[in-house]
Amino acid sequence: MADHSFSDGVPSDAVEAAKNASNTEKLTDQVMQNPRVLAALQERLDNVPHTPSSYIETLPKAVKRRINALKQLQVRCAHIEAKFYEEVHDLERKYAALYQPLFDKRREFITGDVEPTDAESEWHSENEEEEKLAVKAATAEEPNPKGIPEFWFTIFRNVDMLSELVQEYDEPILKHLQDIKVKFSDPGQPMSFVLEFHFEPNDYFTNSVLTKTYKMKSEPDKADPFSFEGPEIVDCDGCTIDWKKGKNVTVKTIKKKQKHKGRGTVRTITKQVPNESFFNFFNPLKGKSDEDSEFTLASDFEIGHFFRERIVPRAVLYFTGEAIEDDDNELEGDEEGEDEDDAEINPKVGNFGATQTYLLCYTLRLLKMFPTLRQ
């Protein structure tokens, strides 16, 4: 039979338990006053996995039902946003028609088909006095070339995104480039735009115009409607370049020795293989869906969008370098406020994805149109 001793009517084991509890409380108080222990505990708490989804799972069914209703509303918002971008596209088309007469006159000045009047060529700048002195000092023997030589080729050299695509053997061809135009899809047609590169007669191909068409869609994905962030590229088409004999810079001829299996004789064969060139821009990848082709397609759209949004509307400023300085200043401002973690590059689309670039351009336009949005 167990022996239970008593002290003042209280079992001894109960007294012992009370003493242990008191000691534990004192020890806990001492531990919790230790900064190192507290820091370690906080670190453990911070590392405990806690995601929004785990929180949602703990909610009552009635609350989850209301959340589902909110999601339905969000899908409807996405469809309204898609219509917004369609109307922006229509607005772009409308204003493109207003810009075009000015762009046509720009081409005439560049090619030298028309000489600007004194009034048209008057421009006040910071170095106005120096320029006037330079004009007075100019002699009659100073060359007076037609138009503005190598206008578009100079832009290609000035802009890093474009110069990286241009090979040395592309340069003589690009010197024949006379104009770049943007054409928007007609009303009621699927959203798209076409880049037209107009060339003067040359020794390389017979085409007078090379085209690149970008097809877009502005509607939420049925399987993932919440991923919608604006118009996105769905496809792009190039054109066939009718190269003159021996002038195709997109391929190169290599010689290869081949040994006959039976006879053991060796012969030299020649074959054509792809060659790096800007003119591959007019022959986009088709039929592939791997990560490399997705990256190429995204990069392709980024370049096309840059032509559309920056190069064509502001060509003279990219020729003089003024627009490039503005772009650099914008980038420096972005980098100063950018956290290292935020600077990570998306492996598929680089620093700017196609959709993000598209949205940024629209946002900047809206801010210019409606200054109150800045507040």
- Residue 357: CB atoms within 10 Å: 19
Helix 354-369 and helix 291-306: axis angle, to 10°?
30
Ordered by where they begin, the domains of the chain are 19-58 (no CATH), 80-116+146-245+277-324 (3.30.1120.90)
What's the pLDDT tens digit per position in 121-155? 998 877 766 666 665 665 556 788 999 999 999 99
Give pTM, 2 decimals.
Answer: 0.70
Q: Which amino acid is at 339?
A: D
Give CA–CA dist 79/13, Å, rounded.
72
DSSP class per residue in 136-195: HH--TTS---SSSTTHHHHHHHH-HHHHTT--GGGHHHHTTEEEEEEEEPPTTSPSEEEE
What's the pLDDT tens digit per position in 7-44? 455 556 655 666 666 666 666 666 567 777 667 666 66
By percentage, how much of the chain surpasses pLDDT 70?
Answer: 68
Give CA–CA dist 158/152, Å, rounded.
10
What residues contact 4, with CB distance under 8 A and at least 6 apart? 11, 12, 13
Q: At 216, list the tokens.
A: 């877009």
What's the pLDDT tens digit per position in 303-334? 999 999 999 999 999 999 999 876 666 555 55
Give 77's pLDDT tier (boundaries 50, 70, 90). very high
Is the pLDDT score of 364 beyond 50? no
